Amino acid sequence: QVQLVESGGGLVQAGGSLSLSCAVSGRTFGAYTMGWFRQAPGKEREFVACIMSSGGSTYYADSVKGRFSISRDNAKSTVYLQMNSLEPKDTAVYYCAAGYASGRSAIVRANLYDYWGQGTQVTVSS
C-alpha cells in the first residue's frame, strides 16, 4: 500500500513563501514520477509541477514557472514544492501524486497518476 502525506501548507501574505513536503511510503519511490496539483474552490484540479523519477527533469505550469521549484530526495522518499512570490490566485488545496506518467502530454494529466495524498491547504492573502 502506497501512502502519500503532504505537509507545510498554511496562510501567508502575498509575496511570501511556503514549502510543501510529501512523504511517500513504499519501496519504489525512486521509480515514480512525482507531481503536484492544486484545486481551488469551484475549479478543476490543475497541474502545478512534476519531477521525473531520476530527478533530472522538471516541468511547471506556466502560471508558476519562475516562482515554484520542485525537488525530490529519493533517500527520504520525499518530494518538495518550494513556492515563492505567492499570489492570491495560488490559493488552493495542494495535492501530491505518484505515478508512472512520462512525456509532456501525460505528466499534466491527473488521471494518469496512481496515488494521491490527502491535500494541504494553501491560502494567500492580499
What is the pLDDT at residue 101? Answer: 84
Instruction: Per residue of the chain (126 residues), give pLDDT as tens.
Output: 899 999 999 999 999 999 999 999 987 899 999 999 999 999 999 999 999 998 779 999 999 999 999 999 999 999 999 999 999 999 999 999 999 988 888 888 999 999 999 999 999 999
Burial of 82 per CB tally in 10 Å (0-12, 13-18, 19+) = middle
What's the distance, Cα to Cα, between the start and end of the chain in Å?
Answer: 40
Q: Note whether 82 and 8 are within 8 A (CB).
A: no
What is the pLDDT at residue 105? Answer: 86
